[in-house]
Structure 1
Amino acid sequence: MSNQTCACPGCTCKVGAHAIVRHGKHYCCQACASHHANGEPCTSTEGCDCAKGAHH
C-alpha cells in the first residue's frame, strides 16, 4: 500500500503507513480525507497543490 497514490483528486502524494481510510479510499493526510473542507493544505508533502482544486 505504500506505493499507492492518495485518492484526493490532483494529489500526487504517496499513501504511507499512517494512511487515513475513508469510504474505502486511502488518503495521505486528514486534509485530503476531508476533501479540504475548510481549505486546509495537503500536509503530506511540501508544495502539493491538491487543495486548490477541491471545492466541497
Structure 2
Amino acid sequence: MATEPPHKTSLYLAAGFPVIVWKGAVLAEFVLENNLGFAVNSLLDLPEKDCGNFRGRL
C-alpha cells in the first residue's frame, strides 16, 4: 500500500480531469467518495466502467 499521494493526481484534479487509481492506493477511497474518477485493480477493468459521469470532462 502506498503512503504518499502522487503529485500528478493533484494536477489532474486541479485541471478537472477524472483520475484512474489502483484500488490499493491511498487516494482510492477519496477518489471514489468524491466521484473524481475510478479505482481499479487493473487497467483491463476500464472497459467495464461506465464513463457517463465523466464524458463532459474528458
TM-score (norm. length: structure 1) = 0.28
Whichever of the two has the greater Rg, that structure is 2
Choose between structure 1 and 2: higher helix proportion. 2
